[in-house]
Amino acid sequence: MTLPGDVPVWAVTRHAEAKKLLIDPRVVKDITVWTAWQRGEIAPDWPLIGLANPPRSMLTVDGSDHRRLRTLVAQALTPRRVESMRERITELTEGLLDQVAAAPGDTVDLKALFAYPLPMYVIADLMGLAEERLPRLKELFEKFFSTQTPPEEVVATLTELAGIMAETVAYKREHPGDDLTSALIQASEDGDSLTDQEIVATLQLMVAAGHETTISSSSTRWSTSPSTPGSATSCCPARRTGRRWSRRPCATPRRPRTC
């Protein structure tokens, strides 16, 4: 297939082949081994440069460097931390579903009302990001993932994203809390710890990986879920009791104050 700028790439779409590639030692993440990169064919303002050459993180390194980062990040992103968010995620999900069910008209935009806000709320809670940053983060990540972002906006988008994460890390160094950013700052192994640049890159990686994929998967799930013909809210009644559907009062998601 061909990416913007007539950059040729291979797309692996089958699980068996993807598994073989992922465990093949000849396949590495280092962008400097990419022939097109070596020849200088990938410009700094290429629309997908943020995906092809992101800051140093587990996504971009191999071998001992990857093991080091994974070990430190694993201290912060623990099963206990994820499990502790179950109640909050349930609350957010229920509140958004109620808003979908209460939306006027015969049709609703599930992506806008549910698929987009849920992962952003969850990621913001997880990382301790300020809620007021969410609308701008939405705009930036839409540009980040788009192949249509004008070249003059690519570098500015990447710079602003890194700046938001850097400001969050700086704030959490002074005001640590029970969140992933603070835990990444505190993570240590044999006297080694993550640099601020590595923490920023890790946060960006988690937002990128956890946001867009969740939007796509939840949107697809909605589109394939059975519904009752003629019912605008049949796909999302808030609760089912016995054999009858019932709806709780609409609840607006509330988030704790953060940095």
Residue 187: is its pLDDT beyond 80? yes
Residue 253: is its pLDDT beyond 50? no
Do the beta carbons of residue 160 and residue 147 sit within 8 Å? no
Q: Which range, 45-54, 93-102, 244-253, is most confident?
A: 93-102
| Cβ neighbours for 255, distance < 8 A, ≥ 6 positions apart | 121, 124, 125, 131
The whole-number average pLDDT for the span 109-135 is 85
Closest CA to 199 of 172, 225, 233: 172
pLDDT at residue number 228: 47
Residue 207: is its pLDDT beyond 70? yes
Do the beta carbons of residue 98 and residue 247 sit within 8 Å? yes
For the chain, give every domain's residue range: 1-42, 43-246
In the predicted model, what is the mean pLDDT of the chain? 80
239: which strand partners?
246
Q: Which of 71-80, 184-193, 203-212, 223-232 has the lowest mean pLDDT?
A: 223-232
Q: Which range, 2-16, 40-54, 217-231, is most confident?
A: 2-16
Q: At 111, is the secondary structure helix, strand, or coil?
A: helix
- Model pLDDT for residues 87-109, shown as the tens digit of each residue: 999 999 999 989 888 888 888 88
Q: Which of 19-33, 69-83, 234-248 has the lowest mean pLDDT?
A: 234-248
Residue 254: is its pLDDT beyond 60? no
CA pair distance 248, 193, nearest whole angstrom: 47
Residue 76: is its pLDDT beyond 80? yes
What's the distance, CA 14 to chain centroid? Answer: 23
pLDDT at residue number 248: 37
Residue 255: is its pLDDT beyond 80? no
pLDDT at residue number 226: 52
Strand-pair category, 188-189 with 192-193: antiparallel
Phi and psi for 68 in degrees, rounded to 5?
A: -60, -50
Phi-psi region of 27 (alpha: psi -120 to 50; beta: other; left: phi over 0): beta
Phi and psi for 47 in degrees, rounded to 5?
A: -55, -30
Do the beta carbons of residue 173 and residue 185 sit within 8 Å? yes
More confidently predicted of 71 and 152: 71
The whole-number average pLDDT for the span 38-49 is 87
* Element at 7 (helix H, strand E): strand 7-8
The tokens for 211 are: 């946001």
- CATH label, 43-246, candidates 1.10.1270.20, 3.30.70.360, 1.10.630.10, 1.10.3720.10: 1.10.630.10
